[in-house]
Amino acid sequence: MKPEHLDTPAAVIDMARMQKNIARMQAQANMLGVAFRPHVKTSKCLDVVRAQLVAGAHGITVSTLKEAEAFFAAGVEDILYAVGIAPAKLPRALALRRQGCALKLVVDNPTAAAAIAAFGEQHGEIFEVWIEVDTDGHRSGITPEQDTLLEVGRILHENGVMVGGVMTHAGSSYELRDAAALTALAAQERAGCVRAAERLRAAGIACPAVSVGSTPTALAAAQLEGVTELRAGVYVFFDLVMHNVGVCALDDIALSVLTTVIGHQAEKGWAILDAGWMAMSRDRGTSKQAHDFGYGQPCLLNGTPLSGYLVSGANQEHGILSSTRDNAPDEDIAQRFPIGMKLRILPNHACATGAQFPEYHAVSPDGETAVWRRFHGW
């Protein structure tokens, strides 16, 4: 089926753009001399992940145990579950390991470390745990110089748990928009994570893996000495937030929402679309950036951005397309965007928009579409 015949709203992947993005990040990891472990929380889609693995990725990163279970069932064995484990989730982690999954857990505190050790001992399982390092203060993790780092390392190491590595995510990179600042943050991310690994090793704890990354720092890193692997997620599709951060062009964005014009409020200069926030998601990441794209950037069906227009508002199943000139409504809106016209909307945040859909429609270079399932939930 051609994309113009799809029912709307639909989540459309431009396969050529996606493949270009995958090749670009893999080449970056290769250039930096590290393995690449994509974060699959962005797509939650086996077809996308297969393309990443074929391009050279080693293992995957997941944000939920459901992702780990689904991708392991599909044959992916090397899986980093990159959210601090809640002790009550250990039975699910154990079940995966017992089936042969090389699942790595993450902790950043002594309580969870002790819980893993106790649970592992109770069930005769040697869990592999990576310690989360905080290199930019934006969320979780232990800072490299904290005593807690060695405390957690020792609780694991001395109680039959394998300390497989350290990992960090400089998520504050999303707030930057300057290449030099990104390169500096990438250097800080690398240095902090390597320092944490060195401290653990000096304490007699092996710590083989040193894992860093976010899409912006991964692309901005000048060198990754001491690092063993890079992680990134949203790069596979990119989005308007990443465009504003400066790491992709509008025509690199591989995910868009196909929509239909269903009405007008001509005197206000509005065209009404059948893609509201249920389709675009409520993510308004660009609202805090230099260029606010509203609920998304409209494009023609062939992907050409309609400069001067944006999705300025959204209800659950209604989007409002209007001119970016606030005080000058487009008087020709109904002629320019007639009822039934189909458009493609580039999203603020690909991870959030993708999650609104049970499937993607992947458009190949010959213009045909394939249905690629995705899953949601925990």
State the DSSP H helix or E strand holding residue 218, giving kind and residue range, or none if neither. Answer: helix 215-220
8 Å CB contact between 23 and 374: no
Q: Name which of 123 and 249 has its Cβ closer to a copy of itself.
A: 123
Angle at 97 between CA 96 and CA 103, to 5 degrees: 90
How many chain residues touch a copy of itself (CB under 8 A)? 58
| Binding test (CB under 8 A) with a copy of itself, winner from 173, 244, 289, 356 | 356
Member of 75, 88, 290, 365 binding a copy of itself (CB under 8 A): 88
Residue range at the interface with a copy of itself (CB under 8 A); choices 7-15, 179-187, 300-308, 364-372:
7-15
- Give, as ranges, the residues between 230 and 269 that touch a copy of itself (CB under 8 A): 260-265
Of the two residues 116 and 227, which places its CB atom closer to a copy of itself in the complex? 116
214 interacts with a copy of itself by CB under 8 A: no
Range 164-193, binding a copy of itself (CB under 8 A)? 171
122-161 footprint of a copy of itself as x/- string (CB under 8 A): ------------x----xx---------------------
Beta carbon of residue 169, minimum distance to a copy of itself (angstroms, whole number): 9
Output 47 or 359, the one with its CB closest to a copy of itself. Answer: 359
Name the minimum Å distance from CB 83 to a copy of itself: 5
Read out DSSP for 34-95?
A: -EE--BTTTT--HHHHHHHHHTT--SEEESSHHHHHHHHHTT--EEEE-SPPPGGGHHHHHH
Q: How far apart are CA 44 and CA 164, in angstroms?
A: 25
User: What residues from 57 to 76 belong to the interface with a copy of itself (CB under 8 A)?
Assistant: 63-64
- Minimum gap (Å) between residue 303 Cβ and a copy of itself: 20
Beta bridge mates, 371: 361
Is residue 106 a contact partner of residue 130, using CB atoms and an 8 Å limit? yes
Closest CA to 127 of 135, 139, 119: 119
Q: Is residue 79 within 8 Å of 92, Cβ to Cβ?
A: no
Q: Which residues pair with 362 in a beta bridge?
A: 13, 370
Is 89 one of the binding residues for a copy of itself (CB under 8 A)? yes
87 binds a copy of itself (CB under 8 A): yes
Burial class (CB in 10 A: 0-12, 13-18, 19+), 218: buried
Residues with Cβ < 8 Å from 142, sequence gap 6 or more? 108, 109, 131, 132, 133, 134, 148, 149, 152, 196
Residue of 52, 61, 109, 312 interacting with a copy of itself (CB under 8 A)? 109
- Cβ of residue 140: shortest distance to a copy of itself, in angstroms? 5
Cβ 284 to a copy of itself shortest distance, Å:
7
Map residues 279-298 to x or -, x wherever contact with a copy of itself holds by CB under 8 A: x-xxxx--------------
Tell me the C-alpha distance between 271 and 318, whole Å.
Answer: 10
- Tally of residues, the chain: 378
Phi, psi of 14 (to 5 degrees): -85, 105
List residues near a copy of itself by CB under 8 A.
7-10, 41, 63-64, 83-89, 92, 108-109, 111-112, 115, 134, 139-140, 171, 260-265, 272, 274, 277-279, 281-284, 315-318, 320, 338-340, 349, 351-352, 355-359, 376-378
